[in-house]
Amino acid sequence: MREDDEVSAAGGATREDRRRDPSRVLALTDGVFAIIITLLVLDIYVPELSRHETLQSAISDVRPSFVSFVIAFIVAAMQWTGHRDLFTLIRYTDRGIIWLNLLTLFAVCLLPFGSALLSRYSEDPLALRLFGLILMATSVTRTAIWAYATQRPSLVHEPLDRASIRSGLALSVFPLLVYIAAFAIAAVSPQASLTVYASAPVLYFITITLLRWLAPRGSAEREFT
């Protein structure tokens, strides 16, 4: 096994190993995330001043798009740290992981559209629901990768124990429930729905912090970012 690893490092791995190597999957994913978080800023436009208008008053029009930029940046950043945590456990990729990962990227790619829509029509139930659907898609695909990989010992570095698998699933499913709640109340109270979306990252952050704190030393949960 030592021998194998060395050969692998030197690029002389078997065809099987090369095919299952996750490095290009990660390169594509990091590239997409880098572009997404940078594109989000393009929605913050420089205001045009009409006659007798000062920049001071015009700049307040930029506020909604700035708020939407902040929310979408945090969402994308959390998706990325979650993706990174996930792939520290995954040693090899197969056809299933690659396509599930492309589905994740598909959902992530829609984030700039969702956040632009929300920044424009933040009171509209439809905009709130579409934004929610995109967030749900990111959560569902991530949960799917987690479930898929942890069921296949040949794909992970070390098989995870039951408790860790369940914590990981809970962590992926948890934001999904929050998004469903925000989606459900969008028609009744757009204001409350928006508040739930905005507080989701905070809840998520607290949940991870708790998980890290409660989990036994050496378990996978301790290492979530």
User: Footprint of its own copies on this chain (CB under 8 A)?
Assistant: 2, 5-12, 15-16, 18-19, 21, 24, 26-28, 30-42, 44, 46, 55-56, 59, 73, 77, 80-81, 84-85, 88-89, 91, 95, 98-99, 102, 105-106, 109-110, 112-113, 116-117, 120-121, 124, 126-127, 130, 157-158, 220, 223, 225
Closest contact distance (angstroms) between CB of 201 and its own copies is 12
Closest contact distance (angstroms) between CB of 77 and its own copies is 5
Residue whose CB is less far from its own copies, 12 or 151: 12
Of the candidates 148, 117, 150, the one whose C-alpha atom is nearest the C-alpha of residue 131 is 117
Residue whose CB is less far from its own copies, 177 or 225: 225
Closest contact distance (angstroms) between CB of 74 and its own copies is 9
Closest contact distance (angstroms) between CB of 13 and its own copies is 9
Closest contact distance (angstroms) between CB of 165 and its own copies is 15
